[in-house]
């Protein structure tokens, strides 16, 4: 009912982005927003050689003085843009709240949703009453058949269970939708937090988490909370032991396992699938994709083997945990202490208005998005971004045409796939319809519950209908981008097209190093170790020869090894297999962006600006967007769960580009130096 609202699509997001859009009526900028040509020279540390540490060289002084705000777990260029987007969205929301709107209008829904979240006194007065009916329904469960139905009910309201049900495009028939079942049911970020006994930080998190479970049970009036909390944690540990690792779940073909509805009971015994699917509103579906078969089989057996009363306690806890951010202060404080402070290292809770903006955006993002783009994303910004995308695609096509290790026939199909590519820039062509969503003023928890069920019903209603490829999985206010291989597209929301990623007044070399590398990154996702498994229509299919795959894997093994050598925290290295796709996208993205910048010069030599060559400015622009600091608990979590390398390590990719060595005079013996034979060359 709460955390699920913030989950994105089955796509490959970046964590980056690009520039400008001034508000209506704002005076046009006379020059670039950052520095004299789009780069913050003052943030560099000239005492460090580029070849010893390119991150410190380009950003050392900035990072030395950067302090992470007390209400954040990290800070960098993305964070600054997200803060800006948040402020702008707040203005839009508060205007809607102040002006109001006729019942049922989007203005009414935006204003009343936000006002209800901000009404702390009203929330406090209601206590846990808003979820009492759900808790009573759980308490009334008297057998495992009813338990299965409750699992289905929880899928509708997006509360975590070990067997979560959802709807998405069929990866082998991308013009149709499909029901899928996936593993879930954990309150900690990953199976490793339960099962890794070697890391003391994981042990600390387990201790804190068990106490958190007990706290929520006590706040909600459960007796014998300590023993029941321990049993819930032990059950989650058993669930964690069934889970596939994140590396295993990256393999697109391994998570495509359609099963006939009639065969579910025999293949996945232990739970009443008929009751679960009926309660989830999916009783008529003939085929279900079981994404992680062995995990789901083991989870179903746990449903059968573990006591009914334990499952009832587990579901009650999961419901309370999920809705805690919308309950009275004691719940909010406990939730913050566990998820932001313990797991993220965040000292202070964000102001309530920020949490209100984020939640309202999660629920009514496209209603707000209409207003956001009208004020902050003029047509000229979209046109500039379109032009950059076309240039990057042209550069990628040239690379594909000359790719020596790929079979000529495969290479031709790769170029066909690129030609069929669809970029989405700024905002959707068609906005989401919120007319069926009821928002009531003064009912914060109810609003979140109805919003969650509204979205679930919207997804289920897609079954049997043509796929709508115009749909977006990020709002225009999101500072990020994503690649969606099932629809062969890349998506760049409006809020990301701003400095330092893109600035129409900045030097083009800096823009190509910033937004250009981001565009190249997202395009490359369609040809990385997983994206390459989808054809030009978005279908999961084998279109490479076995020889292509063998040669490609020999190259990607080197990518895995290079990144696995990096150690962001003592004893905790980057997971080269988990981050392979993102690292490959960074590697190709910067190469493609550099090619596109060179092509944009039309054969002319770039001029020198402030003593910096064009090539140097390109790499400065690239490094600048990755200025980032993390709190250690968050960094540990990201190294465990995130398919991206930490932002402050992403500029390390320059070590693989010959032109970087030439541009900065990097010599053997310097710490970033790699011998030519060790430099990664894939695309």
Domain 132-326 fold: Neutral endopeptidase; domain 2 (1.10.1380)
Angstrom distance (rounded) from CA 436 to CA 454: 7
Which residue reads 């004299």 in tokens? 36
CA angle 103, 104, 108 (to 5 degrees): 65
Q: How far apart are CA 466 and CA 349, in angstroms?
A: 43
- Are the C-beta atoms of residues 37 and 609 closer than 8 Å to each other? yes
Long-range contacts formed by 260-267: CB under 8 A, 24+ apart = 260/286, 260/287, 261/285, 261/286, 261/287, 261/288, 264/288, 267/297
pLDDT recorded at residue 13: 58
Give me the residues of the chain with pLDDT under 50, please: 2-12, 15-28
Q: What is the pLDDT of residue 31?
A: 87
Determine the pLDDT at residue 493: 95
Q: Give the pTM.
A: 0.93
User: CA-to-CA distance for 328 and 126, rounded, in angstroms?
Assistant: 8
Side by side, the strands of the sheet bearing 163-170 are 163-170, 173-183, 287-290, 258-260
For residues 241 and 195, is the Cβ–Cβ distance under 8 A?
yes
pLDDT at 14: 54
Q: How far is CA 526 from CA 404, 580, 615, in A?
A: 19, 13, 27
Give the pLDDT confidence score for residue 633 in this predicted structure: 98
What pLDDT sits at residue 6? 33
pLDDT tens-digit profile of 576-632?
A: 999 999 999 999 999 999 999 999 999 999 999 999 999 999 999 999 999 999 999
- Specify the 3-state DSSP secondary structure of 75: strand
Burial (0-12, 13-18, 19+ Cβ within 10 Å), 155 = buried
Residue found by looking up tokens 């709002």 in the block: 475
DSSP states along 156-223: HTT---SEEEEEEEETTEEEEEEEEEEE---SSSSHHHHH--S-HHHHHHHHHHHHHHHHHHHHTT-S
The whole-number pLDDT of residue 16 equals 37
Query: How far is CA 94 from each of CA 111, 355, 356, 362, rounded to the nearest angstrom?
Result: 7, 14, 11, 16
The enclosing H or E element of 483 equals strand 482-484
pLDDT of residue 1: 58
Task: Tell me the pLDDT tens digit for each residue of 267-299.
Answer: 999 999 999 999 999 998 999 999 999 999 999
d(CA 623, CA 514): 8
Residue appearing with tokens 């092509």: 599
Element (H, E) at 289: strand 287-290
Q: What pLDDT is recorded for position 96? A: 87
Give helix then strand counts, H and E, for the chain: 26, 10
The span from the CA of 481 to the CA of 490, in Å, is 7
Please enumerate in sequence order all residues whose Cβ is within 8 A of that of 69, keeping only pairs 6 or more positions apart, or say none: 75
496, containing H or E segment: none
Taking the mean position of all CA atoms in its chain, how far away is CA 112? Answer: 28
Cα–Cα dist 625/586, whole Å: 13
Q: Which of 499, 586, 651, 618 is nearest to 17 (CA)?
A: 499
Report pLDDT digits (tens) over 536-582. Answer: 999 999 999 999 999 999 999 999 999 999 999 999 999 999 999 99
Domain boundaries of the chain, sorted by first residue: 132-326
Q: How far apart are CA 553 and CA 574, in angstroms?
A: 19
Distance in angstroms (rounded) separating the CA atoms of residues 602 and 332: 57
Three-state SS at 359: helix
């Amino acid at each position: 009912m709460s955390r699920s609202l913030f989950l994105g699509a089955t796509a490959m997001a970046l964590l980056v982005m690009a520039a400008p859009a001034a508000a209506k009526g704002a005076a046009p900028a006379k020059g670039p927003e950052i520095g004299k040509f789009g780069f913050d020279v003052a943030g560099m540390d000239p005492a460090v050689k580029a070849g010893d540490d390119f991150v410190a060289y380009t950003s050392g002084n900035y990072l030395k003085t950067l302090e992470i705000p007390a209400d954040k777990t990290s800070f960098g260029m993305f964070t600054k843009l997200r803060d800006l987007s948040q402020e702008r969205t707040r203005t839009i929301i508060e205007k809607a709240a102040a002006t109001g709107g006729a019942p049922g209008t989007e203005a009414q829904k935006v204003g009343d949703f936000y006002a209800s979240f901000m009404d702390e006194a009203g929330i406090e007065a209601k206590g846990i009453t808003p979820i009492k009916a759900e808790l009573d329904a759980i308490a009334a469960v008297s057998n495992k058949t009813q338990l299965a139905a409750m699992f289905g009910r929880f899928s509708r309201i997006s509360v975590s269970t070990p067997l979560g049900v959802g709807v998405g495009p069929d990866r082998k028939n991308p013009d149709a939708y499909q029901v899928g079942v996936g593993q879930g049911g954990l309150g900690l970020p990953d199976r490793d937090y339960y099962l890794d006994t070697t890391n003391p930080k994981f042990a600390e998190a387990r201790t804190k988490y068990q106490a958190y479970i007990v706290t929520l049970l006590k706040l909600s009036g459960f007796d014998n909370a300590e023993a029941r909390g321990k049993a819930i944690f032990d059950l989650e540990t058993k669930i964690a032991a069934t889970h596939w690792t994140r590396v295993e779940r990256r393999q697109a073909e391994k998570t495509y396992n359609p099963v006939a509805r009639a065969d579910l009971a025999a293949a996945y015994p232990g739970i009443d699938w008929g009751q679960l699917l009926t309660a989830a509103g999916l009783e008529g579906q003939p085929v279900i994709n079981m994404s992680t078969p062995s995990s789901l089989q083991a989870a179903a057996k746990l449903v059968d083997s573990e006591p009914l009363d334990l499952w009832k306690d587990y579901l009650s806890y999961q419901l309370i945990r999920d809705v805690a951010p919308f309950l009275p202060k004691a719940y909010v404080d406990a939730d913050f202490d566990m998820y932001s402070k313990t797991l993220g290292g965040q000292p202070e809770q964000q102001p309530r208005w920020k949490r209100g903006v984020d939640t309202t955006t999660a629920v009514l993002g496209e209603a707000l998005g209409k207003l956001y783009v009208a004020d902050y994303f003029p047509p000229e910004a979209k046109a500039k971004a379109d032009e950059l995308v076309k240039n990057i695609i042209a550069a990628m096509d040239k690379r594909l045409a000359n790719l020596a290790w790929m079979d000529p026939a495969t290479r031709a199909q790769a170029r066909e796939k690129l030609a069929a590519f669809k970029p989405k820039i700024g905002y959707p062509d068609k906005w989401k319809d919120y007319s069926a969503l009821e928002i009531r003023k003064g009912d914060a928890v109810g609003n979140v519950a109805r919003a969650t069920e509204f979205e679930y019903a919207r997804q289920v209603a897609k079954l049997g209908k043509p796929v709508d490829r115009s749909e977006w999985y990020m709002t225009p206010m999101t500072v990020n981008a994503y690649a969606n291989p099932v629809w062969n597209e890349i998506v760049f929301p409006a809020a990301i097209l701003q400095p330092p990623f893109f600035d129409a007044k900045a030097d083009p070399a800096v823009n190509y190093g910033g937004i250009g590398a981001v565009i190249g990154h997202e395009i490359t996702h369609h040809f990385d170790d997983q994206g390459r498994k989808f054809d030009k229509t978005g279908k999961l299919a084998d279109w490479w020869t076995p020889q292509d795959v063998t040669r490609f894997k020999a190259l990607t093994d080197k990518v895995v090894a290079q990144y696995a050598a990096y150690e962001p925290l003592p004893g905790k290295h980057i997971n080269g297999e988990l981050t392979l796709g993102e690292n490959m996208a960074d590697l190709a993205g910067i190469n493609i962006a550099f090619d596109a910048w060179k092509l944009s010069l039309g054969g002319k030599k770039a001029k020198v600006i402030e003593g910096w060559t064009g090539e140097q400015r390109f790499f400065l622009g690239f490094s600048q967007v990755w200025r980032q600091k993390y709190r250690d608990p968050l960094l540990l979590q990201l190294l465990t769960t995130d398919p991206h390398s930490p932002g402050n390590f992403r500029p390390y990719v320059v070590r693989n580009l010959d032109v970087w060595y030439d541009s900065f005079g990097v010599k053997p013996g310097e710490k970033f130096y790699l011998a030519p034979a060790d430099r990664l060359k894939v695309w």
